[in-house]
């Protein structure tokens, strides 16, 4: 019997740790392999590739991002090969197996951590059994409500799913997903992790051995899958210390952190010992409205949390990614704006504005009528409205989110946005992004296919109309986005003849060239010449194509014009 495990990842850079665990748990007992695809791939092509493997059994990992594609894939597989046995697992299907048994053309659903349960099912199938009584395994006429948990002591006896030879060469191109624990202690009503009981940790030796492998590999990003990485103080310190002690350039690590749990000594340790840009923390704040947090069973001390975030920000070592969720119970549009402004004021590099999704199995979905929720019937199950916030207000938040991503999260406008957020729009951050979206929409900026220079030009016009001139900051930000000499986003006021005269003056100024270790060729081919806005005697000389010319990382020079 030949078995193939597969899934449809959201992007090529993603990998499925679940498939790899299932594979190492069963490869010595069965003729089993795994293969991954991406949701953007043609499903007919995926079907053909899977059928070409001549499998008797196919297992598919289903998540919220690939539900639709997975269903279509299964229909095509069964149509082409009706005798094919298909089982599915994953977070999307595990809590409502009956829905998928009744509505999808599948044979089995596995609920929970399937490493060893899958082996039991495959063994029964090899023996010709189709009706089985295995915890966590459901099929038509037999729905099993058990959510299986794998024994970690048995998992660590397996070959490492992180060190498979076939993955080695691709590590530098893909995200490495790594777990040091399973489970979550919190009971947030919107989250699938709330349905798990307890937290189980992998032993230190297992963690160290695999981290050592990553550090000595071409991997560039390790994303830790632990729901609350810093829950256990000793565990957290051990992993952080190991990574800091064995730091390698060009490797970064991302963690999901509960900022309330950080102590001053933890923050001081990180701010003192951590190499810059090595760690990235994702912190789920979701809302700053206490009645909302209480209703969704989310314990949070925002004052403490904000203080800890500011201390991390002051250290300047860690990139912070702060999460908000729009559409939670009891949070009106006006109150959400306050949550957004509260969180944005912390100054994190990225603020992720998400929208509540009514995930299958969660308490919030099961009690949706209590809050008047209307939501998408198909994945991703995003809400339309509830009793506290209208569909029109949700759409306004979507608009602000789009501008937030373009102008803040993109990192393309660092100087300009820092000035605006610390000055003219301080405290009115949501209002700025909503107004900015309205402005560029009215100006006809397309949602896709726009030019970067259009974003800069529109921000310049938007601020100038409000009496704010940030041209110098915008120009500096604009140039930072290019390695080759670009066209400007502004209307050029200096004629070509004048610029040619400036160029000739610089080329004949041997002292300037020698002082800055520049050649005439570099100036002619790679420099832009601009007058400093408030000084008609000073040129801003910006050099591009830095890699080829080996210039300094910040190639901006000032040149005083000859006034003779």
pLDDT value for 552:
47
β-bridge pairing 57-61 and 85-89: parallel
For residues 231 and 145, membership in a common domain is answered with: no
pLDDT at 534: 74
Asked, for residue 369, whether it belongs to a domain, the answer is no
In DSSP notation, 442-481 reads HTT--SSS--HHHHHHHHHHHHHTTT---HHHHHHHHHHT
Same domain, 108 and 176: no
- Quote the pLDDT of residue 547: 55
Range of the domain at 538: 496-560
**468 CB neighbour count, 10 Å cutoff:** 14
| Nearest of 165, 114, 151, 156 to residue 136 by alpha carbon | 114
Whole-number pLDDT of residue 194:
79
In whole angstroms, give the CA distance from residue 334 to residue 28: 58
Asked if 173 and 307 sit in the same domain, the reply is: yes
Indicate whether 167 and 147 sit together in one domain: no
Token pair, residue 98, equals: 């009956």
pTM score: 0.92
Query: What pLDDT is recorded for position 555?
Result: 64
Verify that 111 and 211 share a domain, yes or no.
no
pLDDT for the residue numbered 123: 98
112 and 185 in a common domain: no
CB-count burial class (<10 Å; 0-12, 13-18, 19+) for 132: middle
- Cis geometry, peptide bond prior to residue 190 (ω within 30 degrees of 0): no
Cβ-count burial 69-83 (b if 16+ within 10 Å, e if not): bbbebbebbbeebee
Per DSSP, the residues of 146-212 read --B---HHHHTTSPPTT--GGGGGGGGGSPEEE-SEE--S---TT-GGGGS-S-EE--HHHHHHHHH
The CATH number of whichever domain residue 233 belongs to comes to: 3.20.20.70
406 secondary structure, DSSP code: I
Domain boundary among the residues 337, 355, 373 is at: 355
Angle at 367 between CA 366 and CA 371, to 5 degrees: 145
222 and 262 together in one domain? yes
Same domain, 222 and 346: yes
Pair (197, 89) in one structural domain: no
Please report, in tens digits, the pLDDT of each residue of the chain (564 residues total). 999 999 999 999 999 999 999 999 999 999 999 999 999 999 999 999 999 999 999 999 999 999 999 999 999 999 999 999 999 999 999 999 999 999 999 999 999 999 999 999 999 999 999 999 999 999 999 999 999 999 999 999 999 999 999 999 999 999 999 999 999 988 899 998 878 778 999 999 999 999 999 999 999 999 999 988 999 999 999 999 999 999 999 999 999 999 999 999 999 999 999 999 999 999 999 999 999 999 999 989 999 999 999 999 999 999 999 999 999 999 999 999 999 999 999 999 999 999 999 999 999 999 999 999 999 999 999 999 999 999 999 999 999 999 999 999 999 999 999 999 999 999 999 999 999 999 999 999 998 889 999 999 999 999 999 999 999 999 999 999 988 888 899 988 889 899 999 999 999 999 999 988 889 998 998 899 999 887 778 999 998 875 544 444 446 888 888 744
Residue that is written with structure tokens 């998928």 in the block:
100
CA–CA distances in Å: residue 112 to residues 89, 116, 163, 312, 493 = 8, 11, 24, 36, 65
SS3 547: helix
Whether residue 385 is contained in a domain is answered as no
* Encoded tokens for 546: 């830095």
Is 327 part of any domain?
yes
For residue range 315-325, list pLDDT tens digits in order: 999 999 999 99
168 and 99 together in one domain: no
* 73 close to 106: Cβ distance less than 8 angstroms: no
Instruction: Output the CA torsion sign for 353, 356, 359, 364.
Output: positive
Q: With residue 540 as reference, give the H or E element that holds it.
A: strand 535-543
Rounded-to-integer distance, Cα 362 and Cα 526, Å: 57
Sequence-ordered list of residues with C-beta below 8 angstroms from that of 118, at least 6 positions apart, any chain: 22, 25, 26, 59, 87, 89, 110
Same domain, 28 and 117: yes
Give the tens place of pLDDT for each residue, 476-534: 999 999 888 888 999 888 898 999 999 999 999 999 999 888 899 989 988 999 998 87
The pair phi, psi for residue 52, each rounded to 5°, is -65, -20
């Amino acid at each position: 019997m030949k078995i193939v495990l597969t899934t449809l990842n959201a992007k090529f850079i993603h990998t499925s740790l679940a498939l790899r665990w299932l594979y190492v748990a069963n490869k010595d007992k069965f003729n089993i392999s795994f293969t991954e695809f991406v949701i953007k791939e043609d499903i007919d092509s995926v079907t053909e590739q899977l059928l070409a493997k001549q499998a008797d059994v196919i297992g598919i990992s289903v998540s919220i991002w690939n539900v639709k594609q997975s269903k279509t894939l299964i229909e095509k597989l069964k149509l082409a090969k009706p005798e094919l046995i298909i089982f599915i697992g994953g977070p999307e299907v595990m809590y409502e197996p009956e829905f998928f048994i009744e509505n999808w053309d599948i044979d089995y659903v596995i609920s929970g951590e399937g490493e060893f349960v899958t082996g039991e099912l495959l063994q029964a199938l090899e023996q010709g059994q189709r009706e089985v009584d295995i915890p966590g395994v459901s099929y038509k006429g037999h729905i099993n409500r058990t959510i299986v948990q794998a024994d970690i002591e048995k998992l660590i006896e397996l070959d490492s799913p992180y060190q498979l030879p076939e993955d080695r060469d691709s590590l530098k191109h893909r995200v490495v997903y790594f777990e040091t624990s399973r489970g979550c202690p919190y009971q947030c009503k919107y989250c699938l992790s709330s349905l798990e009981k307890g937290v189980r940790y992998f032993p230190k030796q297992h963690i160290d051995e695999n981290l050592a492998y990553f550090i000595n590999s071409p991997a560039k990003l390790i994303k830790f899958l632990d729901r609350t990485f810093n829950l256990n103080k000793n565990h957290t310190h051990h992993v952080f210390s190991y990574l800091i002690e064995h730091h390698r350039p060009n490797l970064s690590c991302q963690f999901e952190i509960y900022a309330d749990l950080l102590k001053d000594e933890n923050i001081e340790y990180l701010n003192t010992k951590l190499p810059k840009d090595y760690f990235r923390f994702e912190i789920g704040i979701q809302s700053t409205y206490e009645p909302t947090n209480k209703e969704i069973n989310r314990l949070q001390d925002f004052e403490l949390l904000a203080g800890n975030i500011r201390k991390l920000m002051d250290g300047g070592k860690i990139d912070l990614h702060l999460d908000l969720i729009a559409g939670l119970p009891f949070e009106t549009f006006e109150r959400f704006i306050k949550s957004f402004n509260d969180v944005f004021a912390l100054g994190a590099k990225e603020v992720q504005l998400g929208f509540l999704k009514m995930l299958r199995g969660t308490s919030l979905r099961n009690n949706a009528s209590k809050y008047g929720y209307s939501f998408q019937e198909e994945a991703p199950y995003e809400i339309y409205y509830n009793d506290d916030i209208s569909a029109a207000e949700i759409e306004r938040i979507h608009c602000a989110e789009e501008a937030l991503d373009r102008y803040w999260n993109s990192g393309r406008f660092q100087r300009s946005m820092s000035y605006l957020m610390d000055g003219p729009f301080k405290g009115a951050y949501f209002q700025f992004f909503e107004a900015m979206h309205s402005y560029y929409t009215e100006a006809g900026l397309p949602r896709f296919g726009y030019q970067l220079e259009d974003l800069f030009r529109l921000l310049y016009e938007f601020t100038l109309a409000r009496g704010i001139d940030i041209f110098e900051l915008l120009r500096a930000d604009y140039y930072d986005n290019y390695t080759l000499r670009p066209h400007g986003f502004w209307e050029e006021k200096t004629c070509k003849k004048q610029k040619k005269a400036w160029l000739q003056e610089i080329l004949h100024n041997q002292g300037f060239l020698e002082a800055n270790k520049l050649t005439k060729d570099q100036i002619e081919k790679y420099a832009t010449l601009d007058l400093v806005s408030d000084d008609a005697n000073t040129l801003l000389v910006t050099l591009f194509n830095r890699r080829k010319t080996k210039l300094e990382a910040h190639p901006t020079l000032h040149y005083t014009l000859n006034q003779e």
